[in-house]
Structure 1
Amino acid sequence: MYILIFFLAHWFLSLFFQTFFLHRYASHKMFTTSKVFERILYLLDYICLGSSFLNPRAYAIMHREHHAYSDTEKDPHSPHFFKDVFRMMWATVLTYSDHLRRTREPEARFAGNYPEWPLIDRIGSTIASRIFFGALYVWFYVAFATEWWMFLLLPIHFLMGPIHGAIVNWCGHKYGYANFDNNDKSKNTTPFDFLMLGELFQNNHHKHPNSANFAKKWFEFDPVYPVMKVMHWMRLIRLRKAV
């Protein structure tokens, strides 16, 4: 029971900060917030992604490239140019690394207007930090696992962030239905996107990239949007009007 709770907590907490902080805030600026709350979110993002911490600047630039070149040869992670999801993931890692190390200058339209915290960026991207979090996951399993097969879940913990990204980018551009013609292959994989917290409404999102609510039809539900509305009501964030 403890292992299941820990796995689900890590899955959804890391996914929440990936969609809420890295995607909706760092990449699209769907809301504004104070510098203090931004730092709180930054720190929580680092803790929850742990061994798979993703630099917000590198993430934002790569995601903006994805929108600009969706499902073309310049798309950093379109599934339609790779034989399998693992090759797509590796290509994504290489593009991300270029932006992380600043070895490739992004187009001017993709740069700027993303959160940066050099201290956390440096620490979170180190091998030592990734090993530290990985060791914590292993320790928890050694302490609470009751069956040998539970240890097979550990690789998912180690690569939680990239796994979430692979699911979204592969499934969200291959399987499902489309509400809009976006001149790409984006799809809404499911009308009830609880497992991926709204991220699989890719077709809707590519049509309205600045809209905080990824659900557009009456039968669709984005579970993160009500959380954002509550935060807006509490004045922790200020939602931006989509254009």
Structure 2
Amino acid sequence: MDMTDFLTTLQDAFFDWLVHGLGGFSGWQIVTYTLVTTHITIAAVTIFLHRSQAHRSVELRPLASHFFRCWLWLSTSIVTREWVAVHRKHHAACDTPEDPHSPQTRGIAVVLLRGSELYAAAAKDSQMLDQYGAGTPNDWLERKLYTPHSLYGVGLMLAIDLLAFGAIGATVWAVQMLWIPVSAAGIVNGIGHWWGYRNFELADASRNIVPWGILIGGEELHNNHHTYPTSAKLSVRRYEFDLGWAYIRVLEMLGLATVRRGHPQLRLGSARRGRWRMRPC
């Protein structure tokens, strides 16, 4: 093969990779992969970061914990200590000027469009990290890889997507990277303190966005969570559904998790008042 034939073959292979990737996956397979991976990211945030690390309501075995940590490194570049500290500060100063991301003080548009920026800005506060970030992982992987090289993971994910799917892999990667800033940082922290229904009247403005917590893994039930923040289960009424809780129960059955905080139950109050009140299990 002469140089011209070699260059032609190389060019054809390059364009074939751009169009089909190394895997030759169909459009539906790529869409399915994107939806599955983004859903795993949601599960990792609600189970590991939120319920296990921030509120200590679930204890994960090392296998499950390391899987979620690695996946979040690949798909979000979130540093566990920073996320936990910002979230705990949110609960400590909810909907006040000290809240890192409240639409009541910063405006709904700011939280919806710049929620991840608010997280990043708050995470630069070393005093807040010391006060609210205690108890998060501090092993060799965290010190040498996940924290100092948090961007390496998303770079590796980009390389995987491009190799597997070709040029469309860049779009897949963009969706993966935007999933948490839009759904968690924007929708939950924004709409969850601005619009929806309330099972419980609290000092803060938390709302349940919808009664079926599926798309964001149960985080839609935000008013329930703010009422009992250390509960591993976020649904309280019979018609409410918390997908994250269902996953936790599966992990329990597999011996990969232990629920540390009993989930709340509703009891009907006096017939005269007809109100609901919360009772912890």
1:133 aligns with 2:167: no
Counterparts in 2 of 1:102-121, with a 5 A limit?
103-106=125-128, 110-116=132-138, 117-121=142-146
1:39 aligns with 2:66: yes
Distance verdict in 2 for CA 1:137–1:158, change over 3 Å: farther
CA distance in 1, matches of 2:43, 2:153: 21
Q: Taking structure 1 as the reference length, what is the TM-score of the superposition?
A: 0.83
Q: Which amino acid aligns with 1:113?
A: G
Name the one with the larger strand percent: 2
**Structure 1 stretch 38-47 or stretch 58-67: which is displaced more?**
38-47
- Could you list the per-position Cα deviations for residues 128-168 of structure 1 after superposition, in whole angstroms to 9, with x for gaps in the alignment? 4433322333444426x5xxxx9756532233332232221
1:157 aligns with 2:159: no
Q: 1:124·1:130 contact (CA, 8 Å) conserved in 2?
A: no
Question: How much has 1:11 moved relative to structure 2?
Answer: 1.5
Question: How much has 1:32 moved relative to structure 2?
Answer: 1.9
Distance verdict in 2 for CA 1:90–1:40, change over 3 Å: closer
Describe the SS at the equivalent of 2:126: coil
Describe the SS at the equivalent of 2:213: coil
Match of 1:179 in 2: 199
Q: Which amino acid aligns with 2:208?
A: N
Q: 1:63 aligns with which of 87, 93, 100?
A: 87
Describe the SS at the equivalent of 2:59: strand
CA distance in 2, matches of 1:129, 1:38: 17
Q: 2:166 aligns with which of 106, 130, 142?
A: 142
Question: How much has 1:186 moved relative to structure 2?
Answer: 0.6
Q: 2:199·2:223 contact (CA, 8 Å) conserved in 1?
A: yes
Distance verdict in 2 for CA 1:236–1:107, change over 3 Å: closer
Counterparts in 2 of 1:208-219, with a 5 A limit?
208-219=228-239
Describe the SS at the equivalent of 1:106: helix
CA distance in 1, matches of 2:128, 2:148: 23
Q: 2:217 aligns with which of 180, 194, 197?
A: 197
Question: How much has 1:35 moved relative to structure 2?
Answer: 4.1
Match of 2:271 in 1: none
Describe the SS at the equivalent of 1:188: coil
- Could you list the per-position Cα deviations for residues 150-204 of structure 1 after superposition, in whole angstroms to 9, with x for gaps in the alignment? 9756532233332232221112111210001121111000011211110111100
Q: 1:175·1:189 contact (CA, 8 Å) conserved in 2?
A: yes
CA distance in 1, matches of 2:73, 2:254: 24
Describe the SS at the equivalent of 2:219: coil
Equivalenced residue count is 229
Q: Taking structure 2 as the reference length, what is the TM-score of the superposition?
A: 0.73
CA distance in 1, matches of 2:211, 2:108: 27
Match of 1:28 in 2: 55
Where does structure 2 lack aligned partners over 5 or more consecutive residues?
1-27, 263-279
Overall identity of the aligned pairs, in %:
25
Describe the SS at the equivalent of 1:11: helix
Where does structure 1 lack aligned partners over 5 or more consecutive residues?
none
CA distance in 2, matches of 1:185, 1:23: 19
Q: Which has the larger radius of gyration?
A: 2
Q: 1:46·1:124 contact (CA, 8 Å) conserved in 2?
A: no
